[in-house]
Structures are given as C-alpha cells and as structure tokens.
C-alpha cells in the first residue's frame, strides 16, 4: 500500500507551479522580443548558410563554401534544399519529389509553411531530425546533429537587417 503524505502533494504542486510559471515567463519574453518578423537561420557545420523570412519566403544565401549546395528554385513554394553531412542517398526523396530528381539535388529538404519551418527529408539514425515538429519559436530550434545542421528562429531581427537583395544564385 502506498501512502502519500500531504507534504509530498504540496511539494509536487509547488514543482508543477514553478514549471508552469517558467514556461509562461519564456513565452512572455518571446512575445516582448517579437517584432512581427519571423526569420529562420540555417546553420551547417557551425556556419550560417541561409536565412529565410518565414512570412514571405524571401531568403538570403550567405557567401560560404556551401552556397552552391543550396537550392532555392522552389522558394516561392517554401521549399529549400541544403547540404547535410549524412544525407547523401536521395533514393527515397526522388520517389516523391520530381524537382529534386530532375535537378540531382543531394541534401536536406526544408519546408516553410504557415510561417513555420520543418525538415521534410533527411537521412540520419532513426530520422529524428525529420520527426521534429514545425517551429516558429526561438525557444524550439530544429537540431539535426548527424547532419551537422541546426535551424534557429529569430523574432528580434529588424527587417532592415534582412536584405534579400544580396541573394547569391
């Protein structure tokens, strides 16, 4: 028979209250920093390679050694392809993505939809990167360690800091 003491119930209640208040605090901080702008920065092997405006799908490809591995031909539809360290076999993607097959794209497929970003295709153990929910929150980055890729969302970047005129093609 399990005996639950009153002090144990109070302790659990206090812990739950602290967790709830912490979550609320982070949401308040997030909304204070929110400028109305939503941008996602894609980082590959510790280097920023791409920034995407999650509201308009406008993007900026950074001048790095990876710039030629980024495909933005379907950017208007919110589809981008970026390099991934372990994503090399595209057989499964080619079955459902004619654009990727026609252009012999090798890499991770990223989708921007409803002002959220997600990974639609990649290869890694257990495909954990792909299973992460779409995000538009700075508190919930997408992390794909086997592919050395992270996607961070920012709401505190002013629109003049995002300059789509400097797109590299």
- pLDDT confidence band for 87 (50 / 70 / 90): confident
Range scoring the smallest mean pLDDT among 118-127, 140-149, 159-168: 159-168
Cβ–Cβ < 8 Å for 54, 153: yes
pLDDT of residue 2: 73
Cβ–Cβ < 8 Å for 157, 35: yes
Give 22-65 pLDDT, tens digit per residue: 888 877 776 665 556 889 999 999 999 999 999 999 999 999 99
pLDDT of residue 168: 47
Mean pLDDT of the chain: 86
Residues 6+ apart with CB under 8 A from 156: 33, 34, 35, 138
CATH 2.60.320.10 fits 37-166, yes or no: yes
Query: What value does the mean pLDDT take over residues 6-12?
Result: 83
pLDDT of residue 150: 95
**pTM of this structure:** 0.73
Residues 6+ apart with CB under 8 A from 163: 60
Strand pairing class (39-44; 149-154)? antiparallel
pLDDT of residue 4: 74
Domain ranges of the chain: 1-33, 37-166
Query: What value does the mean pLDDT take over residues 133-143?
Result: 91
Query: What value does the mean pLDDT take over residues 115-138?
Result: 88
Would you say residue 72 has pLDDT above 70? yes
- pLDDT confidence band for 169 (50 / 70 / 90): very low
């Amino acid at each position: 028979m399990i005996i639950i003491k009153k002090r144990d119930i109070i302790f659990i209640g206090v812990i739950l209250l602290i967790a709830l208040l912490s979550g609320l605090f982070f949401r308040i901080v997030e909304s204070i920093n929110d400028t109305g702008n939503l941008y996602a920065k894609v980082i590959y092997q510790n280097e920023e390679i791409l920034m995407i405006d999650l509201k308009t799908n406008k993007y900026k490809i950074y001048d790095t050694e990876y710039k030629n591995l980024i495909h933005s031909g379907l950017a208007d539809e919110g589809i981008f392809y970026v390099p991934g360290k372990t994503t090399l076999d595209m057989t499964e993607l080619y079955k459902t993505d004619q654009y990727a097959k026609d252009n012999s794209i090798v890499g991770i497929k990223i989708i921007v939809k409803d002002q959220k970003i997600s990974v639609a295709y990649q290869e890694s153990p257990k495909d954990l990167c792909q299973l992460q929910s779409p995000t538009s929150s700075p508190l919930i980055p997408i992390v794909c360690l086997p592919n050395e890729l992270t996607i961070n969302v920012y709401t505190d970047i002013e629109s003049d800091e995002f300059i789509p005129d400097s797109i590299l093609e």
